């Protein structure tokens, strides 16, 4: 069970992680949570159901990684061929009523990853065995996907880069650690998906 997820009896998945891997995953998840931002808590005395109907932003985020995590519903509104004012209006409305919920779900996924990692007890330098429930697996899939999207955006990875020069960087290139993390997260995501397949 070294290095990849395996299905466990009763559903869920398990993976053996060493202390460095645990630390890297936790650090990346915390950075993702910081990027997504804190949640909006209802004020004391405020109806908690009001949060369900709270309006979110109508403009896409300026940070390219956040724009990738919270994409426009109807394509890129800044694209030159996108002159349709009505389409931009639909996109703004869609964002206004969906982004807060999407942020909340992404925050839950990241927090679930941090909590499961924090619950591990490592014995010396041997690392630990992480066991995920079926529900934890879904949160982890979401968090791994968001981490890959964020890192891929920062590295400017595109579909055309598969097998490209980014993957053959020399060790001296400052992007190399992030490329390695991107590839590792992809392998984790792939094996976790495989454990959930019937």
d(CA 193, CA 111) in angstroms, rounded, equals: 20
Q: Distance of alpha carbon 9 from its chain centroid, rounded?
A: 27
Residue for token pair 């927090």: 111
Nearest residue to 148 (alpha-carbon basis) of 87, 190, 90, 195: 190
Nearest residue to 89 (alpha-carbon basis) of 73, 66, 102: 73
d(CA 54, CA 100) in angstroms, rounded, equals: 8
Instruction: With cut-offs at 50, 70 and 90, classify the pLDDT of residue 103.
Output: very high
What are the tens digits of pLDDT across the range 175-185? 999 999 999 99
The average pLDDT across 101-130 equals 88
Of 42-46, 102-106, 163-167, which has the strongest mean pLDDT?
A: 102-106
β-sheet with 13-17: strand ranges across: 6-7, 13-17, 128-132
d(CA 176, CA 59) in angstroms, rounded, equals: 33
Q: Are 188 and 15 in contact (CB under 8 A)?
A: yes
d(CA 77, CA 35) in angstroms, rounded, equals: 23
Is residue 67 predicted with pLDDT exceeding 80? Answer: yes
What are the tens digits of pLDDT across the range 74-92? 655 555 554 567 777 777 7
123 burial via Cβ count (<10 Å: 0-12, 13-18, 19+): exposed
pTM of the model: 0.83
Predicted pLDDT at 97: 80
Instruction: With cut-offs at 50, 70 and 90, classify the pLDDT of residue 157.
Output: confident
Residue for token pair 């932003």: 57
Predicted pLDDT at 134: 95
170 Cβ contact list (under 8 Å, min separation 6) = 176
């Amino acid at each position: 069970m070294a290095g990849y997820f395996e299905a466990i009896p009763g559903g869920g998945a398990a993976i053996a992680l060493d202390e460095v891997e645990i630390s890297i995953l936790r650090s990346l998840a915390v950075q993702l949570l910081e990027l997504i931002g804190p949640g909006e808590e209802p004020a004391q005395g405020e109806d908690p159901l009001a949060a369900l109907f709270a309006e979110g932003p109508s403009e896409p985020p300026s940070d390219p990684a956040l724009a990738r995590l919270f994409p426009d519903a109807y394509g890129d509104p800044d694209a030159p061929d996108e002159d349709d004012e009505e389409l931009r209006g639909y996109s703004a409305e869609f964002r206004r009523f969906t982004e807060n919920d999407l942020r909340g779900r992404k925050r839950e996924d990241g927090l679930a990853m941090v909590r499961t990692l924090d619950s591990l007890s490592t014995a010396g330098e041997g690392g630990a065995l992480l066991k995920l429930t079926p529900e934890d697996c879904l949160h982890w899939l979401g968090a791994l996907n968001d981490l890959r999207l964020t890192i891929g955006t920062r590295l400017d990875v595109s579909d055309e880069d598969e097998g490209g020069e980014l993957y053959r960087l020399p060790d001296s290139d400052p992007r190399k650690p992030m490329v390695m993390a991107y590839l590792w997260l992809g392998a984790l995501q792939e094996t976790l998906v495989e454990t959930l397949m019937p």
